[in-house]
Amino acid sequence: MSTGTKGPRGFSEETVRTKTGKSSEEWYALLDAWNAPEKGHTAKHLREEHGVSPWWAQSVTVRYEYARGLRQPPAGMGN
């Protein structure tokens, strides 16, 4: 994904990095290593263990779930 491309939450990859300190792919790798699909409470983990603000923790979680096929985007919503 290029830095200007808008993801499934409607903001650019550049914005994700600016607001969270990591790219989506970096968050996805971290969440995969943590085994997020099995553990659940992903946004809570991002808030408590990585200091991500509540809004961004939820946004990263939703992007992760879309990327990993754990959540289906609403009809008509593109990547």
Tens of pLDDT, residue by residue over 18-72, are 999 999 999 999 999 999 999 999 999 999 999 999 999 999 999 999 999 999 8
pTM: 0.81
Report if residue 31 sits inside a domain.
Answer: yes
Measured between alpha carbons, how far is residue 61 from residues 26, 41, 70 in Å? 13, 9, 10
Report if residue 78 sits inside a domain.
Answer: no
Q: Output the pLDDT for position 3.
A: 43
**Full residue range of the structural domain in which residue 57 is found:** 13-67
Q: State the total domains in the chain.
A: 1
Rounded Cα–Cα distance for residues 59 and 37 (Å): 16
Report if residue 3 sits inside a domain.
Answer: no
